[in-house]
Structure 1
Amino acid sequence: MIIDTHLHLVYRDRLTYPWLADVPPLNADFPQALYAQEARRLGISASLHMEVDVTEVDIARETMVIKELASASGSLLVGAIASCRPELPGFPAYLEGVRANPFVRGFRRVLHVVPDDLSEGALFRENLARLAGSGLTFDLCVKPHQIQRAIALVDLVPDVSFVLDHCGVPDIAGGGYDLWKGPVAEIARRSNVTVKLSGIPAYGAENWTLEDLKPYFAHVANCFGFERMVWGSDWPVCTLGGGLSTWLGATHALLSGVSLPEKAGVLSDNARRLWNITPRA
């Protein structure tokens, strides 16, 4: 069983995605049916939808659309990580609404597309602290130079589970290993952080190979261990680096020397525990 913890679905007729205009290969519709056909062939049995940085007025609507898609017969969707804006005064009311919706398992605020000091604001931190006791996770989508700021958030709310997206967004194509390894090792010292094995093919060169990914995988495995690692496709962004089948094939190759219980943890068991996921029949 494989649980995909990082699926993006794009429906441009129903939601607005301002950033897609800057990424022409992704400026298209990526519906559930297109993903599910390939995912089932690969053994993916459940998926968490990851918010797609829709325009602010569409944040609540995105969750509604995804929940509606999850109700379709044969859907792999079992929950959603919703977008949020902790920097805004309206966050407490939004949080209360989300807490009443068990379909939502956590939040993400993409931080590498906003000023570095956004997460240092008093209101942002006050609102983030409201997650304590909610059972909701918070995904950290940051670049290596921002990981120290992410650590400050993790330390602020030690009883909230944080997830470091895309192995900390290393610049694989640019040879950014040395700038990335230290911050990743430091955030891994926090026991309430899980690393997400996702996204890295898109950060490699166009002709990346497994050998390019191995040092990055080895480092996060050494720092986090396999008990604090989950897998995500980052579909359709992964199509920039070869596609879903290519990435899952590379994942199996990276995990080839890992014990069966540890591999099961990365591919399904850890996610099931972290988000209380029950795969659909």
Structure 2
Amino acid sequence: MIIDAHHHLWDPADRPYPWMDDSVAPIRRRFDVDDLRTVTRDTDVTRTIVVQAVHDPGETAWLFEQPEPVAGVVGWVDLTAPDVTERLGAIGHPRLVGIRHQAQDEPDPDWLARPDVTRGIRAVAAAGLVFDLLVREREHAAALALVDAVPEASFVLDHAGKPAIAASAASAAGATSAACPTTPAIATTATDGAADAWRARMREFAARPNVVCKVSGLLTEAGDHWRDRPVARYAREVVETFGPDRTVFGSDWPVSTLATDYAEVLAVTTSALADLSEHERDAVFRGTAERVYLARSQRQT
């Protein structure tokens, strides 16, 4: 049994999604549970966590309406609102398991470290909810500051902190080409400065015991030529850094379809972690997500 701990559902006809520009035109359409059931039908995925994709409480309300296999919702609330505690209480839905804000889209890279945001995260923690961190390198320092400021909160780092796999591979390929112009530049490991910096930041996040990390979104971070890039190595390094009990699998579907189909995302991740023990694989693909996201909702139902 597998829990997909990170996917989306949306209908751009219902509300605007500002990030859906022409670069993501193939996914700028409705994706609903029928689509989800189709892509998971021949897999071992039996439950999922659906994650917000726009700063709109209406989307969160719509996600609550989605039937199985959706088991939990990571929704949105205005963390900076003076009445954020009351807003969280008003949601009052047993399938609300977490909150997320797309901090990567904020103009201020230190948005997560702002006092009003910290206050909002304390309210999220007091409500017994997880907070998902959607951050790139630009926002990592603020995310770490937030984690330290609210040690009672539980955080999940989405998409392994969004490593710049494509840029790292291009850098490594350029270095290889310069050193030996006749040798094909295929990056099998990531050794450039950006990759090393990512590893250092992952160690910083992992040093905080209240942070869990998602193996998700790596194929799209690797770009169009992801098959020639060390996606599996990044996935494995996440597990090595955080441990299986603090790592969860997520497909990032349907964003992941910009790279490949659902089955291949699952196959690539499974292959990358094939040498884990049965217990360790079960933690990454089921147990950790169940503990982090679903234990609270199961107690309420």
TM-score of the pair, normalised by structure 2: 0.85
> Whole-Å Cα distance in 1 between the matches of residues 199 and 232 of structure 2?
13
Partner of 2:61: 64
Partner of 1:34: 35
User: In the alignment, does 2:172 pair up with 1:154?
Assistant: no
Superposed counterparts of 1:64-213, under 5 Å: 64-70=61-67, 75-98=68-91, 100-114=92-106, 115-175=108-168, 176-209=194-227, 212-213=230-231
Q: Structure 1 residues 148 and 117, CA, compared in 2 at 3 Å: closer, same or farther?
A: closer
> Whole-Å Cα distance in 1 between the matches of residues 11 and 38 of structure 2?
17
Displacement of 1:210 in angstroms is 7.3
Partner of 1:3: 3
- The superposition leaves residues 192-241 of structure 1 with CA deviations (integer Å, 9 ceiling, x where unpaired) of 10000100000113121276113312321221011100111101110111
Contact in 1 for aligned 2:135/2:162 (Cα 8 Å):
yes
Contact in 1 for aligned 2:103/2:135 (Cα 8 Å):
yes
| Identity over aligned pairs, percent | 30
> Whole-Å Cα distance in 1 between the matches of residues 261 and 207 of structure 2?
32
SS, match of residue 97 in structure 2: strand
SS, match of residue 25 in structure 1: helix
- The superposition leaves residues 30-64 of structure 1 with CA deviations (integer Å, 9 ceiling, x where unpaired) of 122112112121111001110011xx4xx222122
> Whole-Å Cα distance in 2 between the matches of residues 77 and 218 of structure 1?
27
> Whole-Å Cα distance in 1 between the matches of residues 145 and 276 of structure 2?
32
1:172 alignment partner AA: I
Contact in 1 for aligned 2:118/2:150 (Cα 8 Å):
no
Q: Which runs of 4+ in 1 moved over 4 A?
A: none
> Whole-Å Cα distance in 2 between the matches of residues 82 and 13 of structure 1?
19
Contact in 2 for aligned 1:80/1:105 (Cα 8 Å):
yes
> Whole-Å Cα distance in 1 between the matches of residues 126 and 83 of structure 2?
19
- The superposition leaves residues 88-131 of structure 1 with CA deviations (integer Å, 9 ceiling, x where unpaired) of 33423212213x22110010011111021222222111121122
Structure 1: gaps (5+ residues): none
> Whole-Å Cα distance in 2 between the matches of residues 121 and 62 of structure 1?
25
2:96 alignment partner AA: V
Displacement of 1:29 in angstroms is 1.6
Displacement of 1:133 in angstroms is 3.3
Contact in 2 for aligned 1:87/1:118 (Cα 8 Å):
no
Displacement of 1:68 in angstroms is 1.6
Q: Structure 1 residues 210 and 218, CA, compared in 2 at 3 Å: closer, same or farther?
A: farther
Contact in 1 for aligned 2:166/2:221 (Cα 8 Å):
yes
Contact in 1 for aligned 2:74/2:97 (Cα 8 Å):
yes
Which region of structure 1 is more displaced relative to structure 2, 150-159 or 86-95?
86-95
Higher-Rg structure is 2
2:206 alignment partner AA: A
Partner of 1:221: 239
> Whole-Å Cα distance in 2 between the matches of residues 133 and 84 of structure 1?
14
Partner of 1:12: 12
Partner of 1:239: 257
2:50 alignment partner AA: H
Q: Structure 1 residues 221 and 44, CA, compared in 2 at 3 Å: closer, same or farther?
A: same
- The superposition leaves residues 172-209 of structure 1 with CA deviations (integer Å, 9 ceiling, x where unpaired) of 01003123111111111001100001000001131212
Contact in 2 for aligned 1:3/1:46 (Cα 8 Å):
yes
1:108 alignment partner AA: R
